[in-house]
A = this chain, B = another copy of it.
């Protein structure tokens, strides 16, 4: 991408400031433990439940932190982003709460339920073709026509600082940690986690997790430049993106390593969390848990490991049809 990654203009103080800014708006989500996970992982695992955050994902933190920093004039113009995932709903809700118009560019191929949820929070949804080129063209056009302020899903310092507040709370709630893990898609959460931890708990090791089928960030850090992600086939749909220059810069400086998990391992870990913790987590969220359960994170034996559970947005419709068939089969 570039031999000169961008400077990193933010640090722990920006994460702390974001935490103060978000305090009236974001849930302080609980940190849970589970003895069955501890036994399998051979470690004490502290799970920061951002699946219980507003809109069901950590993404609310970054989007809200960005919207709350707009000038009066920017607030009038409104915000725009491109996402078919949790960031879409996060920006939509942040806009509604702050009274700022929000517009989301979403591929025509996105599930109707995602579009409806985003519109349900009051955002305008503009469809685009499912290509990077058309997505960027559409965003550029909207910025030009309406003066919208772009809030990128991850390559944005305000979004990164906001995402980092989850790790800051985790550290406050769980106490000393030997390692902190999070999934890596575009890298916004992991970058924020790095900035929070390197300031608030510098001795903690920082470990990312990716699906083996979408390990572009791991390879990017190895070769020292951003490798594109080529529409990888993984159930972890939130982790198909490649890094941006800003998240790449932070991860290059702070991340110890990225571990991977395979598809059946991801689904098994997801099911483990559902069954043992009664928490709904999405496949992307289960990736670091999977790596811990199958023993793919070196050096955590007997240690205290924090993991950010990122989100729980799963289409439950086929599951509930299966349940309803069984339970209401005998009729009223």
Contact = CB atoms under 8 A, between A and B. Distances in A.
Interface of A: 27, 30, 32, 51-52, 56, 233, 235, 262-264, 267, 271, 274-275, 277-281, 283, 312-313, 316, 318-324, 326-328, 330, 332
Q: State how many copies of this chain the complex holds.
A: 2
Contacts of A271: 316, 320
By DSSP majority rule, is chain A's interface helix, strand, loop, or mixed?
A: helix
A323 B328 contact: no
A30 B53 CA distance: 13
A263 B318 contact: no
B312 A278 contact: yes
Most B CB contacts (10 A, CB to CB) among A233, A262, A318 go to A318
B52 A327 contact: no
13 contacts: A32-B52, A52-B277, A52-B279, A233-B330, A263-B332, A267-B320, A267-B328, A271-B316, A271-B320, A274-B316, A278-B280, A279-B280, A319-B319
A267 B327 contact: yes
A279 B32 CA distance: 13
* 8 interchain residue pairs of minimum CB distance: A278-B312, A319-B319, A278-B280, A30-B30, A322-B322, A318-B322, A51-B278, A235-B327
